[in-house]
Structure 1
């Protein structure tokens, strides 16, 4: 589930200079794979390292929240622990961060240790009452 699953080919088909909001869906491990606390603890270590990298590329964390339950649709396979919306000024900025050696060596191990599953969906704003730059 590491960066080897990053869909660079798909992302490269998008307008590289267009803003993007990444919807992150996370399911945590009960225990971190490195034995250092829970999956949530490992994710907090990941976030502490990643948020400055996002900001350095002009991005911003828009919203995070705990998933409570599936309100519509099949519950099987759709239960998540945590969600995050992260805005990047461009698709290229997201790819740059995710493919950097710093991310791969310092950040991704904590994400992998903490998350049993982590899905990121690239979105383009269609409507928002909030100004996100997209």
Structure 2
């Protein structure tokens, strides 16, 4: 199971320039612009994850050749470190089969996004005060309207998951039930992997989180595609989704971080289409 690194970065330089340079020495599997925190963590690095103004999310696969001997192949190259003002790093093992087929599946999902159906759930959504339990809230609806005005294409959701001691089984059941519920709206999990705890404990913030036991750390990462933010909200507003959310997901999780992002290749394609 190949080890990849997920990085959230706050930068002091232009994102496009940073990313272009990064691609010269690293295999960038996913590159996204963080847009909105949908669910804030309550226990694990809550302040760092929720309040840092992140500029870039990247999932990196170490290159097997061409790396500078002075660089850690699982880290951001040393030449780019001065441009980073804050970093949060998670190491994740993703099955080889998912990585082998990722590019083709990713292209197919993005190509079919414009024809993905909505179910109409939003028309009768019961707004809640918060989306912390993955319900449609006024704040989330405001974000949906704002993002749709700028970007009406695919969104990529980053999920960091920390399970209750007996929660893994319940979340597996949630994952199985999620497939048809999200699928009828064009949603699909693109990558799922187990988190590798930091050696000797410790936090994900490479700039100095406090140490913690390895078991008090994220357990799983998933990266999920939706044809648009409206499709995501349509799902949350659906009775079919809330049934599995309440039955399986909420019971499984001790903590979670859910971040809405837009991938740079999708943004570039949308911008070119307007010309």
SS in 2 for 1:119: strand
TM-score (norm 1): 0.77
Q: Give the structure 1 partner of residue 155 of structure 2.
A: 20
User: Structure 1: which 5+ runs fail to align?
Assistant: 31-37
> How far apart are residue 11 of structure 1 and its match?
3.2
Distance 2:241 2:186 in 1: 16
Distance 2:262 2:192 in 1: 18
Q: CA deviation at 1:61?
A: 1.2
Match of 1:54 in 2: 182
Counterpart CA distance in 1 for 2:264 and 2:180 is: 28
The count of corresponding residues between Structure 1 and Structure 2 is 123
What is the RMSD computed on CA atoms of the aligned residues?
A: 2.7
In the other structure, the counterpart of 1:3 is 134
In structure 2, C-alpha distance between the alignment counterparts of 1:45 and 1:92, rounded to whole Å: 25
- Which residue among 78, 82, 85 is the counterpart of 2:223? 85
Unaligned runs of 5+ in 2: 1-131, 199-203, 271-275
CA contact (8 A) 1:43 1:111 kept: yes
- 4+ long deviations beyond 3 Å: 4-7, 75-78
Matched, 1:99 2:237: yes
1:104-123 matched pairs, under 5 angstroms: 104-123=242-261
Secondary structure of 2:206 counterpart: coil
Retained in 2: the 8 A contact 1:42–1:110? yes
Higher relative contact order (CA 8 A, sep 6+): 1
